[in-house]
Amino acid sequence: MDIENNSNITISINDVKDGQIAIGTNAKVNLIGELDNDRKIEIIVGENSELKSYIIQKNGSLEQRNIAKQYARIYTNIIYFGGGNAKIVNTLEGDSSEAYDLQVFAIDDGKRLVIDTTLLHIGKNTSGNILVKGTAKDTAIAKIDGMIKIEKHASGSNSFLDEHVMLLNPGARADTNPQLEIENNDVSSRHAASVSQIDENKIFYMMARGLKREDARKLIVEGFLGSAVEKIDNKEIKEKVSELIAESF
């Protein structure tokens, strides 16, 4: 699929077959939809163009590779409610390109979610970040592998990798594995990660003020995920995600 120069369009992920999307120069493209089966796509974002993807995964695995040319901007928003594998690679090939990768999940039952996300700096003066935040309930398992790689000639790069998981009961498990691979000294890059149990002290405090235990848990979870969901800049998608998160608890 080819997107013409200077376009401003919204396309559904259901209309995109496995393969490549080439976005021309000075274009703005929104990729929106629900993922119910396996999908594998590569998107080339042309010079000074912008890609915003908003994908709600309920089932299936996703492999999405985005390549940013000079001055291009990529905003990846993926929200997971089902098990599966996700491999997301944002490559900042062009100078002064940017990529911001937001991934949120709320999984339960015996679901297993594996997220492998990479931000690759190749061009000069590139910037971006990765934020993965989620909850695991019942006997769900989450595995998060995050990588920021800055190549030898990518001077002036700036990036941050952030991974945080909250376990809602003893049967849930999670593993976070943030990595930095830096081959240039003229850069700024850092990472943070955590796996924590839901705070029983907060639950007790809220129950002491009249809330039921389940209502207290729900408020804590919504607050934890809400700081990430608030970063979604599409109002309709943000509201839908908030509703689905509320329904999942």
Whether 240 is covered by a domain: the verdict is no
Which residues 6+ apart lie within 8 Å of 14 measured at CB?
33, 34
Q: Helix, strand, or coil here: 48?
A: coil
- How far apart, in whole angstroms, are the C-alpha atoms of residue 206 and residue 219? 9
pLDDT (0 to 100) of residue 213: 83
- Which pLDDT belongs to residue 248? 75
Nearest 5°: phi and psi at 211? -80, 145
Structural domain including 17 reads 2-197
Entry field: residues in the chain = 249
Separation CA 33–CA 53 (nearest Å)? 9
Instruction: Supply the pLDDT for residue 142.
Output: 97
Dihedral (CA of 157, 190, 91, 58) sign? negative
- pLDDT for 210 equals 81
How many angstroms from the chain centroid is the CA of residue 224? 15
**Residue 27's pLDDT is what?**
97
What region, left, alpha or beta, does residue 33 occupy, with left being phi > 0 and alpha being psi -120 to 50 degrees? left
Q: What is the pLDDT of residue 41?
A: 93
Mean pLDDT by 10 residues, the chain (249 residues): 93 84 96 90 96 94 96 97 95 98 95 96 97 95 96 95 94 94 90 88 82 84 91 92 84
Whether 50 is covered by a domain: the verdict is: yes
Residue type at position 206: M
Would you say 67 and 42 are in contact if contact means Cβ atoms under 8 Å apart?
yes
Q: Please give the tally of structural domains in the chain.
A: 1
pLDDT of residue 18: 75
